[in-house]
Structure 1
Amino acid sequence: MIKNVTLPTEDGTTQIDHIIVSKYGIFVVETKNMKGWIFGSERQKMWTQKIFKYNTKFQNPLHQNYKHVKTLQNMLNIEPEKIFSVIVFVGDCKFKTAMPANVNYPRGYINFIKSKNKILLSKAEIKEAIRIIEFGRFERSYKTHREHVRHVKQIVEEKQDAVTCPKCGNVMILRTAKKGPNAGTQFWGCSTFPKCRGTLKYSATES
């Protein structure tokens, strides 16, 4: 297991909690140490943590880990079927919605990895993958951590500026009504329309 790997990306850096390289494939593990109730689905941009009456939004870890997987896949030049995304929730938390695929508590995460029993990588490929990761990662240092934190804060700020759908949590798009009594009026419509028909009023003061 390779821990705390910071890799370069086109727009900055990405930090991977754990990478497991085995003959059964490469597992990219994102861990979340959280408390309270967790609400979220596979397609929602933001998930919700609820502790008593307080709600906190956080990025969908499946989307977060997708970037990790793609970065590593491109670095290793490996087929997508040989690399797996795994999300692990530790701490005193409980899902109040159905847990999406690849999202587990610690015991479930171990079972998920054990369920992969088809040999995908040779000993030479395992050795080469580890070599490339170790060579390509940034040195573990305060400077690396600081730069990554700055990059993450920038991403979070950009996401906070986005309007999210009250029904499904996805990003909303500014649209203009084409017919009916509100023709010509702008409103926020869900980006997944027609699957989700969530809308919000738009105020000209937002622009």
Structure 2
Amino acid sequence: MMWYLVIIKALVPILMLCFPVILILSFLKTPWFKGVCGEFYVHVLAKIHLNKDKYHVLRNVTLPTTDGTTQIDHIIVSEYGVFVIETKNMKGWIFGGTHQRQWTQKIFKYTNKFQNPIHQNYKHVETLKSILELNDRQIFSVVVFVGSSTFKTDMPENVINGPGLIKYIKSKDQSVLFDADVQMILSKIEAERLVPSRKTTRAHIDHVKQIVAEKQTRLVHIGSGVATAIQLSDDRWSQDIEIEPAFTDSWENRSWQIDQVQTKFKDRAFP
């Protein structure tokens, strides 16, 4: 019996050391932490390589919308335009196109479907265009991937890997705003944005979760046309719609989401 107690006594300090290490490693792998790291990388990149007198960098801007809130990773304001940046911290091979509803991430045998980030950034751009009264020549949607990801399909010029962000921004060298416009835009954004806080972030997350819940339960017609409500529990679907939804302005823009629900239901019901 004594040898048993000796072993336990020897293992206790080892377990006490390993437990916090495991917790830290688990935390480092969370989507939240990866997202924060990706946004921090873009923020530092912009601060170091862009002239602070010409380019004004705003981070983590939450704006009110008609149906809740929308959260923008970065907004860069300059005389050359307003750059609305959506950041993705991902690794592996990335497949996608401008008009595809979903893009694909592949890491060896692992495959993940995620929402087209160009579509995701659409709502951000449209919200700012409305608030700031800008036209298409004065605002640019930018999607930047950080991490060890590689594009395996041709991407539009505004979808770039991290180091290419500065090159893309500096490629826009035609003045489209006066200095007075730049200052007015900065003032408007500061006036409209919600105060950065845990409460603001929590409210935005709750709003997104509410939309996710509404999307997960849909009415589909089966056979004779009898409508049945189903709850989708497919992990990939849940992962796809955890991010901020795009095209929430009208039913026409959202109709493709019903097509996806119907397809997934048919796949599950009729293998």
Task: Report the TM-score when normalising by structure 2.
Answer: 0.59
| Distance of 2:71 and 2:265 partners within structure 1 | 37
One-letter amino acid of the structure 2 residue matched with residue 46 of structure 1: Q
Which structure 1 residue ranges, 5 or more long, are not aligned? 165-169, 175-187, 189-198
One-letter amino acid of the structure 2 residue matched with residue 87 of structure 1: V
Corresponding position of 2:63: 7
Structure 2 CA distance for partners of 1:16 and 1:200, relative to 1, 3 Å: closer
Per-residue deviation, 1:77: 1.1
| Distance of 2:209 and 2:122 partners within structure 1 | 18
Q: What SS is found at the alignment partner of 1:80?
A: coil
Comparing 56-65 and 45-54, the one that deviates more: 45-54
Which structure 2 residue ranges, 5 or more long, are not aligned? 1-56, 221-236, 238-254
Q: What SS is found at the alignment partner of 2:137?
A: helix
Corresponding position of 1:149: 205
Q: How many residues align?
A: 177
Which structure: greater helix fraction? 2
Task: Report the TM-score when normalising by structure 1.
Answer: 0.76
Corresponding position of 2:179: 123
Per-residue deviation, 1:54: 1.8
Write the deviation string for residues 45-76 of structure 1: whole angstroms up to 9, x where unpaired: 12122222222221111001111000001001
| Distance of 1:99 and 1:116 partners within structure 2 | 18
Corresponding position of 1:185: none
One-letter amino acid of the structure 1 residue matched with residue 95 of structure 2: F
| Distance of 1:4 and 1:200 partners within structure 2 | 34
One-letter amino acid of the structure 1 residue matched with residue 210 of structure 2: Q
Percent identity between the two aligned chains = 56
| Distance of 1:150 and 1:173 partners within structure 2 | 22
Per-residue deviation, 1:157: 4.7
Which structure: greater strand fraction? 1
One-letter amino acid of the structure 2 residue matched with residue 133 of structure 1: I
Per-residue deviation, 1:150: 1.9
Q: What SS is found at the alignment partner of 1:100?
A: coil
Per-residue deviation, 1:151: 2.2
